[in-house]
Amino acid sequence: MAENSRKNEFFERESIAIIAILAGMLLPALNSARERARSATCVSNLKQLNLGTAMYGNDFDDYILPADMAWANSPVAAGWSWGEKTDAYFWILNQFGYIPSLFKQGEITASGDAKILFCPTLRKTASTTALLGYGRVSYGITNGTYFANPRTGSGTNAIKKMAHVYNPSIKYYMTDTVNNAMEGGYFLSIVKKEPNASEAVPHGRHNNFVNVTFLDGHISSIKKQNSSVTNALIPAGAEYPADINTCFTK
């Protein structure tokens, strides 16, 4: 009887050990699959936003929607009160009806439609309403949309037309972004190695891949190339991306 009990205990311990080993083998695969699903949702968000920016360009004489109208010296007034904010790109898309309404009529509470501005992988440390108000959405647009050379900041500080763009298929436009508080940021400065409180950099949050929308309209998932910096798009061994990848003016 005692011998049978010892055998049962042995088999129980062996079974537990086998289950633990199997779980250790399966969990990384499950986590990876879960992140791929979140990345697919993120790409869907970018597709909707990209469609909105394309419609904006069609309606406004081929101009590329910039991250921030105020920084681009646009005649569009920049306001900061609810319902009047017109500088951030997502408010422009919202006000002209290019994306689902972010706020319910007559209210300041963000609607469920605002979710297209938030990547499911990026954690949110404040309410959706507060994040929208401070521009901490999950996706940023490069400052190259209004600087001739976003690497140096030199050139005409004005919004650009697609006709001004050389080789749009390699020009980053909107990407997964993060600031130094690990929140999003609608302003993307591709040239920065690390983010700060107000500006963001591309973020390889999908198993070290970053989802990127290019100016020709296609979307790619690009693998993080340099593990020593937050900015996932800086090529390994390079301080900054090559000028041909950042310069928007022909």
Q: What is the pLDDT of residue 118?
A: 92
Range of the domain at 6: 2-246
Q: What is the pLDDT of residue 76?
A: 57
- Could you count the other beta carbons within 10 Å of the beta carbon of residue 48? 15
Look up residue 207 and give its DSSP letter.
Answer: T
**Domain count along the chain:** 1
Per-residue pLDDT of the chain (250 residues; tens, 9 = 90+): 555 565 556 556 655 665 555 556 555 555 667 878 898 999 999 999 999 999 999 999 999 998 888 777 665 554 444 444 567 899 889 888 899 888 765 566 777 778 899 999 987 777 888 788 778 899 998 877 877 666 666 666 778 888 888 778 878 899 998 888 888 888 887 666 677 776 788 888 898 888 999 888 999 888 876 666 666 665 544 444 444 445 565 4
Look up residue 140 and give its DSSP letter.
Answer: E
Q: What is the pLDDT of residue 241?
A: 46
Q: What is the pLDDT of residue 74?
A: 64
Contacts of residue 135, defined as CB under 8 A and 6 or more positions apart, other chains included, come to 88, 90, 185, 186, 187
Q: What is the pLDDT of residue 234?
A: 59
Q: What is the pLDDT of residue 47?
A: 96
Look up residue 65 and give its DSSP letter.
Answer: P
- Could you count the other beta carbons within 10 Å of the beta carbon of residue 30? 10
- Could you count the other beta carbons within 10 Å of the beta carbon of residue 221? 17
Torsion, Cα of 51, 56, 59, 60 (10° steps)? -150
